[in-house]
Chain A
Amino acid sequence: MSDFFTFSDPNVRLVTAGTILLGISAAIVGTFTFLRKRALVGDAIAHAILPGVCLSFMITGEKHPAYLLVGAVLAGWLSLLVMDYLSSRTKLSTDTAIGAVLSVFFGAGILLLTSIQHSGSANQAGLDQFLFGKAAAMTQRDIWVFSGVAVVLLGLVLAFFRSFKLISFDPAFAKSIGLPVRRLEFLLSTITVLAVATGIQAVGVVLMAALLITPAAAARFWTDRIQVMILLAAAFGLLSGLFGSWISYTAPSMPTGPWIVVLLSMIAVVSVVVAPKRGIWARLRLQRSNARKIRQENILKAFYGIGEAADAPVATVAVDMLRQQRPFEDIALQLGLRELVKKGLLHKHKPGSYALTPTGLQESRRVVRLHRLWELYLTERMNYAADHVHNTAEAIEHVITPEVEAALLRELDHPILDPHDAVIPYQNPSKPSAS
């Protein structure tokens, strides 16, 4: 491991520098590809580049990376035009257009490639690096070309950052403020084709889509800001490039490209699961805490209802009475009661019977108040029939914030009775609002 990370071996330096450069530039460009929901277009471009590469070799008879790049970019561009044409001018759907262009262009590339190989041209060996990538066999010349491309890409992204951001999020708005949307899209597409045409040499045709979009998709889970997203995506690209080269350095039989992609996918999966707010785990926790809140508030309401009917707010209530008041699920009821005792809103007198504590009474009054206020609001201000408002109020009472409550009270002028003539309970029952 230390051998690798000192970067004393010039070959290690080359390979690592190359994969990192390609990883970072693909990730940065890919962020826009991802935001414009064109991930699979990137995949199609990667496949469609092949015939361009072969033709440029057939014409020049050379394998200079710069020549091949020109052929690749032209073919990538043509494929974009054809995809746009098919999906906008024929009745084929976008994904059919992408799939058709991808496979036909690639087929043409394979046909040309095999034809070149069969022709016995001495110079052709190595053209298939475009199929599988050749991270481990990069030369000084490749690195110069890649660095040049990376600098151009970064420069363009920096220079046009604001415009690219606008056309990614809201092309209609961009147009309305007078941006040359079509020209900018052309530029952005060209940058994408360029990033694909270079990146493909690290990971190959099939895996190129991953280099482009997986870092961006992973970054999306951590942030809502595009600047942060680009930086994160670039960092993911860098890390996977670094460790991908390290793995194939320590185990020479291991291919670099696929490992880069596997590492990227792992980063994405971790992000999907643990990222705060957008991650699956965070969302599950939020759902569970909402479910708990609703469960507890419904039990408190049942207590209040029983107390109101008996005119004894803090009387001891048996669990069976709660069930009669409201059809609870058994497990939910037991769980909710235990949670409420723990929070000090209920106390348990003997097994199976409970009473509200003073804070519990306050809390139950709050929930019932919100329910009745909302019912009143619906009948008075929204012209609902009184017998149609209960279910809506059941749902919304759990999410009304104190600010909304204050607004409702102002709007309805501190009412006393709800549409069903039940008393709306206020925090301090001894002095209801002036009537």
Chain B
Amino acid sequence: MNAFWIILTGALVATSCGLLGTFLILRKMAMVGDAISHAVLPGIVIAYLLSESRDVLPMLIGAAALGVLTTFMIEFLYQKARLQIDASIGITFTWLFAIGIILISLYAGQVDLDQDCVLYGEIAYVPLDLWITESGRLLGPRPVWILSGVLALILLIIILGYRGLKITTFDPEYAAAVGISTVFWHYLLMSAVSVTTVVAFESVGAILVVAFLIVPPATAYLLTEKLHNMLLLTVGLGILTAVSGYYLAVWIDGSVAGAMAVSSGVFLLLAVLFSPSTGVLTQRFRQQAIPVPAQGYKER
């Protein structure tokens, strides 16, 4: 039963992250996602301190606020201070993350978070965090419920906002011309990324969440050209990653989240090598096997 809950948690994280990550990598904002996943840390700590609990709502609000702040700081350094984009991202997230770590050290007694957990989470504890109603009914692990709620929210955003997200992703100028606000969709996406990061934080940590955000969508991107297919493929790959990662972790006796990141990497490697359209080996094989027909024949 524990294995089921752990795999389910992994699959939920992978699905939520993958759906958002698809839009991140198409917008060439993969590293902004990375930055947000680190920068929400002070938001989580402050939410802990203010609400003195592990309630979900304050955390989500804290996270969304920090996510927007991160995006805003990056934009400020890039546009107003005219710093190059990589440095703007690097300075912003390291600064916020450092503040988060300092806050954790400062209030070590009051904040139930340790540094290991921040970096790679502990998905193996998920089945222990049970949700029991007041009448004593057992409803299964709390994180699974929270993650399902967030996934529902993300699905809602993507289904209702499909047109807006798609147009602002592929052709921001056209979007502006037909009156779709790029700023709105940008900040909505960033808030969704921060909320997802925070919810995934406990189970997979700040860095491995990046693996789920970036690697399955990147793999899907190598396999298809259509946004629709890419989203579906990403979800499928995310679930495969969660299942195979779990068994890899059991085999090696190591961190489940780490193993899931590794197995997502393996799928990416396979796609790089064998993708039917762009795979390195596929192309090489094709070049050798099939002679390219000449365009018409010249007279000799």
Q: Judging by beta carbons under 8 Å apart, are A107 and B102 in contact?
A: no
Residue A268 is within 8 A (CB to CB) of chain B in the complex: yes
B206 proximity list for chain A (CB < 8 A): 206
Q: Judging by beta carbons under 8 Å apart, are A37 and B102 in contact?
A: no
Q: Judging by beta carbons under 8 Å apart, are A99 and B30 in contact?
A: yes
Q: Judging by beta carbons under 8 Å apart, are A95 and B28 in contact?
A: yes
Q: Judging by beta carbons under 8 Å apart, are B268 and A111 in contact?
A: no
Q: Judging by beta carbons under 8 Å apart, are B83 and A272 in contact?
A: yes
B41 nearest CB neighbor, chain A only:
A206
A214 proximity list for chain B (CB < 8 A): 90-91, 94
Bound complex: CA A254 to CA B257 (Å): 29
CB-defined interface of A120-143 with B at 8 Å, one 1/0 digit per residue? 000000001001100000000000
Bound complex: CA A80 to CA B97 (Å): 24
Q: Judging by beta carbons under 8 Å apart, are B222 and A92 in contact?
A: yes
A220 nearest CB neighbor, chain B only:
B83
Residue B171 is within 8 A (CB to CB) of chain A in the complex: no
Q: Judging by beta carbons under 8 Å apart, are B120 and A110 in contact?
A: yes
Looking at the assembled complex, report how far the CB atom of A316 sits from the nearest CB atom of chain B, in whole angstroms: 44
From B99, B254, B272, give the contact of A112 (CB < 8 A): B254
Q: Judging by beta carbons under 8 Å apart, are B260 and A107 in contact?
A: yes
Residue B183 is within 8 A (CB to CB) of chain A in the complex: no
Q: Judging by beta carbons under 8 Å apart, are A217 and B222 in contact?
A: no
Q: Knowing A210-B90, A217-B87, say if A111 contacts B208 (CB, 8 Å).
A: no
Q: Knowing A93-B25, A110-B120, A210-B95, say if A39 contacts B86 (CB, 8 Å).
A: yes
CB-defined interface of B256-296 with A at 8 Å, one 1/0 digit per residue? 01111110110010001000001010000000000000000
A contact residues, range: 35 or more
Stretch at the interface among A11-19, A257-265, A325-333, A371-379: A257-265
From A42, A103, A132, give the contact of B207 (CB < 8 A): A103
CB-defined interface of A253-290 with B at 8 Å, one 1/0 digit per residue? 11101110110010010001000001010000000000
Q: Judging by beta carbons under 8 Å apart, are A107 and B87 in contact?
A: no
* Total contacting residues, chain B, CB less than 8 A: 62
Bound complex: CA A221 to CA B84 (Å): 12
Stretch at the interface among B3-11, B31-39, B58-66, B152-160: B31-39
A213 proximity list for chain B (CB < 8 A): 86-87, 90-91
Bound complex: CA A43 to CA B92 (Å): 13
Q: From residue 215 to 262 of chain B, which have CB atoms closer than 8 A to chain A? A: 215, 218, 221-222, 248-249, 252-255, 257-262
Residue A350 is within 8 A (CB to CB) of chain B in the complex: no
Q: Judging by beta carbons under 8 Å apart, are B254 and A114 in contact?
A: yes
Bound complex: CA A103 to CA B90 (Å): 16
Q: Which residues of B contact A (CB under 8 A)?
A: 25, 28-31, 33-34, 38, 77, 80-84, 86-87, 89-91, 94-95, 97-99, 101-102, 105-106, 108, 115-116, 119-120, 206-208, 210-211, 213-215, 218, 221-222, 248-249, 252-255, 257-262, 264-265, 268, 272, 278, 280
Q: List 7 A-B contacts (CB under 8 A).
A: A39-B89, A96-B28, A96-B30, A107-B265, A110-B257, A258-B97, A278-B82
